[in-house]
Structure 1
Amino acid sequence: MKNVRKLTEGAMLLAAFTVLFLISMYLPFVGMVSSLFLAVPFILFAAKYEGKWTIVFVVASILLSIIVGSFLSLPLALSFGTTGAVMGYLIQKKKERMTIFIASSFVLLINIIGMYAVSIVFFNMDIINEMINTMKDSIKMSTDMLKNLGQEKQAENTVKQFTRGLEMVRTLIPTLFVLTSFILTLMIQLVSYPIVKRFGVEIKKWKPFKDLSLPRSLLWYLLITLFANMVLNPQEGTYLFAVLLNLTYVLQFLMIFQGYTFMFYYFDAKGISKSVAVILAVFSFIIPIFLYIIGILGIIDLGFDLRKKFKKES
């Protein structure tokens, strides 16, 4: 009887997935939105049933996506399927929201890296490289126009600046992948969780933003990375340079996140309105130099455990 119920519910969720999948594949603008809901059937199924049944469900959805679409549509089903399945499994295990977010982001990151690698190896198509080359061509056209207007020096400086920026983008591809996985996972959760809750699945609430805190070990990773960068001083363009640069950017991003959470904690502890913290957060994005201040605040918070000191004072 239980197996019949699983099969029935699985078939219904597969049907829902197929509809969403077809919309995502063949309706360009609507599909961008509907693709965020692709994880919902997987979350629902994985949150209710055992892991082995979830694997069967994911495999069935992948086969179905190949039938109704093509092999080129496989990455879409695989990435959202595995990410949704991990979310559902961890929800079933009553894990914290942060744990679910990090784990599902990691799974999505693996999918993104896998898709990128497959596109290069099997299809000889580097999307990011092609975008960079296209931008270089447009820059070249713009500089030619400037040269024709007699502004050769300005044209040369413009080319150097933009070329260096584009090469930096190429180097920071891993960081872009990490940030993309975080943002996309957050968007999936924002649209999926309200639907999942309506079907009776209990999901733990987020801790208040002010109470979120990253592991202190991240601070050591940042210090080690910065120290290695200073001592080794890798040459630009080398593999070591790319690794250290990406690690630095990712860890700095996490320190900024820590800084924001501490800012909200401090304002709450002092009885200051949240709206002030929100305004300051928005303001920091407008004027980038304030991001460095927020990042330093995050480093100090992790290093000296400022929150514990505020608790003692209060």
Structure 2
Amino acid sequence: MEPLPLTRRLTQSIRDFIGRFFHAMREEDLGGIAAQMTYYFMLALFPTLILMVWVLDLLPLKGDMAAAVGRSFHGVSKELGTLIQRYIEEFAKRQPSGGLLLWIFAALWAASRGISGARKGLDRVFRPERRRNFAKLRAFDLLTTLLAILFVGLAQFLMLGGQQLARFVVNLVGLEERYAIAWSFVRWPLVLSLLLLGVVMAYRYLPSRKLPFRYLFYGAVPTVLGWLALGAGFRIWLRNLGNFDKIYGSLTSFFLLMFFLWLVSLCLLIGGQTAYVMAADEGEEGEVSDLDGEE
């Protein structure tokens, strides 16, 4: 039986989109861009975690936040979790001497390199027409880094202290215990929604080209789904195939961290490429932001 015209057109549209998408991936060398982003993320990871722990310590949470943030990485890899947890706990015990604001600013400056790397990578994918003013961009990176840390800190707060928050609100308002139990199920969709919103905001404000929000949402969905699949697949791979201790020895944790950050970067770029290709197909490539400078 001949397929319906609508079905044929839909199939052809999907096939054309996939073809253009993979052509754009090869043309832009997303793997190479992800490797560059990994370098920036490596520079920014530990300063970002330090600032995140500092933000969480300001909240009314019980327990050691440094250890809790480190343990949250055990879900991806025990080696990664151990490396990060050991670093954060060591820093928490031996904070740098000098003014508090001084080392916070230094950590913020280092953490902003991650935002800078993501911006440069997404600019390659979104194909800006002009270069952007360096001084304005550095100020933009610092402000965006601070907002991102607060945003991620909120998500971490909901994951690590969500149950404490629920019981506090229940006791304060005088609700029944079942509302606290219900919150334990509601907080995970809320965290995923925050993650999706964060990716959309990254696609909107980091690149110089501003696409319509609906295309950014289309790109953010595969990015978030890719990260979720990455977390699960990474654990399965390490459990069954990842016998790296015999190959890399003491460098195993470092290798796994770099590889994991490369995959995270690649997912972010693939989502951005999806948004750009879909927008370009419909002739809505957006406008270039006003942070541009002279060549």
TM-score (norm 1): 0.26
Higher relative contact order (Cα pairs below 8 Å, separated by 6+ residues): 2
- Which is higher, the Rg of structure 1 or of structure 2? 1
TM-score between both structures, scaled by the size of structure 2 = 0.27
